[in-house]
Amino acid sequence: RLDGLGIPALADQEGGLLTQPVVMALATLLQVVARRGDVSRAATLARTPLVGFNDSQLEKYIADKKGSSDLLKRLQSHAISKPQRALFERWKRLADSNRLVRMLEETLDHSDLLLAYPRQVDRQYAEQFLAFVQISLEKARSRRFEIKSARRSDYTWSWPTANCSHYLSLPV
């Protein structure tokens, strides 16, 4: 099916693309972007190699009632290093501007995800997932483009104004 969308697919015995650990971490990040107040998804993200919180760090992050209710933003105040804080800030900035593919690309470039999953096939899975997300978002945007008024002289076009990640639903 990925080949039909123009995404080169690997034939392997390890299961589907969305079941690969490297992809599951990236998909969890997208789920947190789409549902910023969902504690369960945020906790799952915090335990991935993208964040890497231990039990104590996770508890402090989740229990922080003084922090933002936007759990993506709250990550910034719980970062364990300056580079990690910079990554979390980039996530927030790019997510807020609906630049989700760019966010995923920068995640691959600036996180330890590919150190945790160092095989070449893991990089290929991650790249396939990025292509899948890009195509999915393009399809979601094109479906949302509609004529609001049928009068010939008064056409109003509507593009998605909300966070486009809400249109992308991935199983995690």
To the question of pTM greater than 0.95 for the whole model, the response is no
Q: What is the model's pLDDT at position 154?
A: 43
Residue 12 has pLDDT above 70, yes or no: no
SS3 assignment, position 105: helix
Q: How confident is the model at residue 34 (pLDDT cuts 50, 70, 90)?
A: very high
Mean pLDDT, residues 138-159 taken together: 52
pLDDT digits (tens, 9 = 90+) for 109-132: 999 999 999 999 999 999 999 999
Q: How does 48-74 read in b/e, with b if 16+ C-beta sit within 10 Å?
A: bebbebeeebbeebbeeeebeebbbbb
pLDDT digits (tens, 9 = 90+) for 38-64: 999 999 999 999 999 999 999 999 999
* Count of CB atoms situated within 10 Å of the CB of 86: 13
Q: What is the model's pLDDT at position 165?
A: 47
Contact yes or no for 83/110 (Cβ under 8 A): yes
d(CA 60, CA 78): 8
Bridge pairing between strands 157-158 and 146-147: antiparallel
